[in-house]
Every structure is written in C-alpha cells, then in structure tokens.
Amino acid sequence: MEESRCVGGRSGWQPHHLRLESAEGVLVGAIPCYAKSHSQGEYVFDHGWADAFERAGGRYYPKLQSAVPFTPATGPRLLVAGGCDPLTVKAGLAEALRMVTDRLGVSSAHVSFLPQDDVLPMEAAGFLHRTDQQFHFFNEGFSGYDDFLATLASRKRKALKKERREALADGISIDWLTGSDLTERVWDDFFTFYMDTGSRKWGRPYLNRQFFSLIGKRMADDILLVMAKRNGRYVAGAINFIGSDTLFGRNWGCIEDHPFLHFEVCYHQAIDFAIANKIRVVEAGAQGEHKLARGYQPVTTHSMHYIANPSFRRAVADYLRRERQEVELMGDYLAEHTPFRKDDQ
C-alpha cells in the first residue's frame, strides 16, 4: 500500500510504525501504525467522537491508528519477534503506544480488529475496549455446498437454491481466477468494477490501479478473484485473499445489474471455494445482516482506544460500556435467528 501510494502522501494515512527494542537494541516487537488526519477507511466508526471533541474545543486529528488500511479483518496488531515472551512484549507494546500518544500530543490512539486475546494487555495500559459484529461462515468439514445446505431449515434451503438459480439466469457463468490467471487484462476489468462501486453515493475508491498490479505480481497465489461473465465478457467480480485457514472477502463491483448477483459472487461462491479447498472460515467483510440468511454467523470483533484527555476518556468509556451491552444483546438475538436447523426440525 505504501509503494502504490494508497497510504502516505496526501492520503491522510502517514506511516508511523512503532518498534520496541530490548536494552541491548534488539527488536522484540512492533505495531503497524499510522498518523491519520481523518477517520476514513477504518470500519470502526469514531466520527461522532471527533465531532464531540472538536465541539468542546479539542483537536481530534491527527490521531494514531493501528490497522491494515481499508481492511476490516481481525489479525495481529501487537507483533512479537520469535523467541520473545509474548505476554511481556505485548504489555510493553501497549504501554509504548500510550506513551507515544501522550508525547506526540495527539488526541488518541486506536487499534482496530485485534484478536480477543490482546484485549487484556491493552486494557492494562489504559485502552478502552470496543466491540462490534461481523458475519463469518464456518466450514464444518462439508463435502460440498449441498452438504452445507443440509444444515439449514427447509425453507431457508429452498430460498438459497432459488436465489442462486436466479443469479445466473441471464446467461451468467462464474470463474475462479488465481495465480497465473491474474493477468493485467483481468486486473483492468476488476478495477473497472471496483471504481464503479467507489463512484456511488456511499462508496470511496481507496485503492489505485497500481496496487492491484503489485499484489498480482507478489502474492497472486494468495488471491482469489470471483468473476462473473456474460456474453463473453466479465461484468462483475469480487476480490478475496486466501489465508492459512481463512478466506477474506473484500471488494466487489459490477458494470451490469442482475438480481442476486452480488450475493452469488461475494457470499455463495466464497462458501463454494472454502469448502472445495478445505478453508475453515470465510470473513465476508464489515457489517451486513443480510449475510445471516446466507449461512454466515454473527461474530464479535474487538478494537481498543486510548483517549488522552481525561474528561473525554471518561465520556467515551461510559459510551462504550453501553455500546458493548447493545452489541452483546444484538449478537444473542442474531444467534437465535440463524437459518440453521433447530433440533425439532
């Protein structure tokens, strides 16, 4: 992202990565971090905090943000060198991030989509805990899509079968492209789709064409493009990143509108690929309760926030206590309304 200038420059994401060294000068840990002049591209929304702080006379930006830019996917943020004690290093990293925030005189530091195991060391350093919901598919060793469908209630099975038929009813076929399939021409097509989505009312194209060429050259075997073809040309597509046990669904776009094609390309095909390749989890991106009906289950995500101003920190802490309760209640409600068969069905 830095090489393609999607971050850095005038993007509002200035690299400010933190290193933690031992007394002997040996690198023991790090935090990927950015100094930010806005709150775009984070998927943990603090715009209301910024407005409230600035109405009270404060200056919210710049702030520090530890995240993978434009990517709402859980992963390590407190990075520990091999051979080091994880608990000690993570505690040191959390404390270091708090100290750097205070020394720089910025309003706050935020760590987005970190593993739940890293919540405690950050709370000990004065960070506030925030939760949210995503929807993930879990591959329970299914032999195929029909095997997965058998776990759903009858009415839900019929609805999904109908939806998938209708998505392909206009002569649409689906290609899975990875590795050497990812030619520059394919990237041109996908970038057209991506920019079309980004040009819509709530869209924003954070990534440029060079970014896609770079990832195509450097990690093609870890990328899956699901591309929809009609009349000999691609008309829609979604990009996924293949992890060790997780398929990460990211951006989608199209140049033709067809009923249910978005669901087919982004959600159903991801499940098909995960089952075929024995991938344990599909993370389908931020938000989206519509994913529930398609076999994705509610999962709690975590972020941590250090607010330098004591009065504002107390206000945010109170807000987050109430928000966590609401997220928990919503998670319980959603878990009761999944499409899966109940014992009496």
CATH code: domain 13-133+299-335 is: 3.40.630
Task: Report the 3 state secondary structure along the chain.
Answer: CCCCCCCCCCCCEEECCEEEECCCCCEEEEECCEEECCCCCCCCCCHHHHHHHHHCCCCCCCEEEECCCCCCCCCCCCEECCCCCHHHHHHHHHHHHHHHHHHHCCCEEEEECCCHHHHHHHHHCCCEEEEEEEEEEECCCCCCHHHHHCCECHHHHHHHHHHHHHHCCCCCEEEEECHHHCCHHHHHHHHHHHHHHHCCCCCCCCCCHHHHHHHHHHCHHHEEEEEEEECCEEEEEEEEEECCCEEEEEEEEECCCCCCHHHHHHHHHHHHHHHHCCCCEEEEEECCHHHHHHCCEEEEEEEEEEECCHHHHHHHHHHHHHHHHHHHHHHHHHHCCCCECCCCC
13-133+299-335 and 140-279: identical CATH topology: yes
In the chain, domain spans: 13-133+299-335, 140-279
pLDDT value of residue 205 = 86
State the burial class of residue 192 (Cβ atoms within 10 Å of its Cβ: 0-12, 13-18, 19+).
middle
Give residues with Cβ within 8 angstroms of 141, minimum separation 6.
none
Which residue's entry shows tokens 């032999």? 143
* Separation of alpha carbons 331 and 324, rounded Å: 10
Which residue's entry shows tokens 């970014």? 211
Token pair recorded at residue 112: 């987005």
Q: What string of pLDDT tens digits covers the 345 residues of the chain?
A: 999 999 999 999 999 999 999 999 999 999 999 999 999 999 999 999 999 999 999 999 999 999 999 999 999 999 999 999 999 999 999 999 999 999 999 999 999 999 999 999 999 999 999 999 999 999 999 999 999 999 999 999 999 999 999 999 999 999 999 999 999 999 999 999 999 886 665 567 899 999 999 999 999 999 999 999 999 999 999 999 999 999 999 999 999 999 999 999 999 999 999 999 999 999 998 878 999 999 999 999 999 999 999 999 999 999 999 999 999 999 999 999 999 988 644
- Options 3.40.630.30, 3.30.160.150, 3.40.50.300, 3.40.640.10; CATH for 140-279 is 3.40.630.30
* Separation of alpha carbons 190 and 251, rounded Å: 10
Half-sphere exposure for 44 (CA within 13 Å, toward CB): 27
pLDDT value of residue 203 = 62
pLDDT value of residue 341 = 87
Q: Residues of the chain with pLDDT > 90: what percent?
A: 94
Question: Among residues 181, 164, 343, 180, which one has the least CA distance to residue 269?
Answer: 164
pLDDT value of residue 345 = 42
The distance in angstroms from the start CA to the end CA of the chain is 49
